[in-house]
Amino acid sequence: MSVNVRLLGIAVFFNLLGRGAFMASSALYFTKFAGVTPGQLGLGLAIAGAAGLVSGVPFGHLADRRGQRDVAAALLILSSLAGVFFLMVDGFVQFTAVAVVFTFIERGAYAARQAVLATLTAGEDATLARAQIRTIGNMGVAIGSGIAGLAIWVGTEAAYMGVIGFNAASYLICGLTLFALPRIPVVPVKPGVARLPVLRDRRYTAATLVNMIMVIHFAMLDIGFPLWIVHHTDAPNWMAAALILFNTVGCVLFQVSASRRIGTLESARRAWRLAGFLFLGTCVLTGLTGGTSAVGAAVLLLVAAGLHLYGEIIQSAAGWVISFDLAPPEQNGQYQGLFTTGFAFSQMVAPFVISTLVIENGTVGWICLGATFALAGLAMTPVLRIADGAPSATPHQKETARS
């Protein structure tokens, strides 16, 4: 592991350590101590999510023009400052205002950080480096969730506020750590080049849209499985937490080894297609648990979670190759901004898709969702075939697409 990858891993670890704790406990804090009802919480988060959709590309473009490392670090420090204001929330209006500002800055910081990752790992085994960083990040999320569990167990307002302060500090540590990385030179704008060429890049937009559909699978783990287990199966309710733990541990153990085989656009295309069918299998098996015994449902759910785990690992690795290799090196910021915007939109609509369109339609809903994943897995092939002959592809990109 190179020095740059190690520093990026440290930055991501601390960031997701705080973020994991915040995500696992913040809903309880806001609804118990900050005067926000559950319905208002959902609405406020939806509004904040919409604000975050419009920040990725412009902040990514700013990173390209002003220095990716410096812009990413500055935005992370600003995210830390915005996160502190969650401690002052009292009611829906204040919560929504703070959430909008925080999410707007945080999504821009994420796009800029992804650009830093793409640039500083370009000269080595990039997929392996990103897998190592994701593994370290998953460890941070797992430990952060444990910290949140302690706060929930204590149950006092001070304990919850400590988690919120800890989250703000995690963004500050992440931002300051980035300053230890080499400064990334600004690439001058070529005469005649459009201001935001990513918005005119059809192949990259198509890849973003396909990814946007595929990453709905993340919501199966923390929304789909729990709701389905509790309301539609005889499996013990603790299975929901067990499957999340199974996934987290599996990603930590196997992400790096599985990603070693996915380093070119061709291998990414194959992995993406396989992931689509693995998610199809996950959905079919999950849908079949509704009419089985408690033991049968538990066994089917464990197998489904195994398929989902492997699908998630290879889909994530393939997504890194696709999002980074199709982006011109001098415009990493705005390109990663668009790709992460697609991911953010997916995560905004995924709870509705899973909880309403899938769960309420039972087995049929699961099968339809699985078929959608399979189609998304197949759809990336023509996108990458187009990329193979695209004029804007670099020689390296064209060569890896043919290999």
Q: Is the pLDDT of residue 397 over 50?
A: no
Give the Cβ contact number of residue 172 at 10 Å. Answer: 20
* Single residue among 147, 178, 209 that ends a domain in this structure: 178
**pTM over 0.85, yes/no:** no
Residues 220 and 156 both lie in one domain: no
| 3-state SS track over the chain | CCHHHHHHHHHHHHHHHHHHHHHHHHHHHHHHHCCCCHHHHHHHHHHHHHHHHCCHHHHHHHHHHHCHHHHHHHHHHHHHHHHHHHHHCCCHHHHHHHHHHHHHHHHHHHHHHHHHHHHHCCCCCHHHHHHHHHHHHHHHHHHHHHHHHHHHHHCCHHHHHHHHHHHHHHHHHHHHHHCCCCCCCCCCCCCCCCCCHHHHCHHHHHHHHHHHHHCCHHHHHHHHHHHHHHHHCCCCCCHHHHHHHHHHHHHHHHHHHHHCCCCCHHHHHHHHHHHHHHHHHHHHHHHHHHHCCHHHHHHHHHHHHHHHHHHHHHHHHHHHHHHHHCCCHHHHHHHHHHHHHHHHHHHHHHHHHHHHHHHHHHHHHHHHHHHHHHHHHHHHHHHHHHHHCCCCCCHHHHHHHHC
Q: Which residue has the tokens 């945080």?
A: 106
Residues 87 and 210 both lie in one domain: no
Residues 265 and 387 both lie in one domain: yes
Asked if the structure places residue 280 within a domain, the reply is yes
pLDDT at 141: 87
Let me know: does 261 contact 383? Beta carbons within 8 Å: no
8 vs 140: CA distance, rounded Å: 13
User: What is the band of 189 on the pLDDT scale with cuts at 50, 70, 90?
Assistant: low
pLDDT at 123: 59
| 3-state SS track over 351-385 | HHHHHHHHHHHHHHHHHHHHHHHHHHHHHHHHHHH
Residues 49 and 98 both lie in one domain: yes
Q: Is the pLDDT of residue 190 over 70?
A: no
Residues 286 and 344 both lie in one domain: yes
Please give the span between the terminal C-alpha atoms of the chain, in angstroms, as a whole number: 26
Residues 58 and 165 both lie in one domain: yes
Q: Please give the tally of structural domains in the chain.
A: 2
Q: Is the pLDDT of residue 98 over 60?
A: yes
Give the Cβ contact number of residue 292 at 10 Å. Answer: 16
Residues 239 and 382 both lie in one domain: yes
Residues 205 and 311 both lie in one domain: yes
Asked if the structure places residue 54 within a domain, the reply is yes
* Single residue among 178, 210, 231 that ends a domain in this structure: 178
Asked if the structure places residue 186 within a domain, the reply is no
Asked if the structure places residue 373 within a domain, the reply is yes
239-255 pLDDT, tens digit each: 888 888 899 889 989 98
Residues 50 and 105 both lie in one domain: yes
Of the candidates 7, 121, 68, the residue with the CA atom closest to the CA atom of residue 330 = 68
Asked if the structure places residue 33 within a domain, the reply is yes
* Single residue among 150, 178, 206 that ends a domain in this structure: 178
Residues 160 and 202 both lie in one domain: no
350 vs 220: CA distance, rounded Å: 9
DSSP 193: -
When the pLDDT of each residue in the chain is averaged and rounded to a whole number, the result is 88
User: What is the band of 399 on the pLDDT scale with cuts at 50, 70, 90?
Assistant: very low
* Residues of the chain above pLDDT 70, percent: 92
CATH of the domain at 388: 1.20.1250.20
74-92 pLDDT, tens digit each: 999 999 999 999 999 999 9
Cα radius of gyration rounded to whole Å, the chain = 21
Q: Which amino acid is at 343?
A: F
pLDDT at 392: 43
Asked if the structure places residue 185 within a domain, the reply is no
271 vs 319: CA distance, rounded Å: 9
pLDDT top residue among 143 and 347: 143
- Weakest-pLDDT range from 22-36, 109-123, 208-222, 299-313: 109-123
383 HSE (CA, 13 A, CB side): 27
User: What is the band of 1 on the pLDDT scale with cuts at 50, 70, 90?
Assistant: low
320-346 pLDDT, tens digit each: 899 988 988 778 888 888 998 888 888
277 vs 309: CA distance, rounded Å: 13
Residues 131 and 35 both lie in one domain: yes
Q: Which amino acid is at 62?
A: L
Q: Which domain holds residue 222?
A: 197-402
Asked if the structure places residue 171 within a domain, the reply is yes
pLDDT at 261: 87
Q: Which residues touch 349 (CB under 8 Å, ≥6 apart)?
A: 216
Residues 257 and 217 both lie in one domain: yes
Asked if the structure places residue 184 within a domain, the reply is no
Let me know: does 34 contact 155? Beta carbons within 8 Å: no
280 vs 214: CA distance, rounded Å: 11
pLDDT at 393: 42
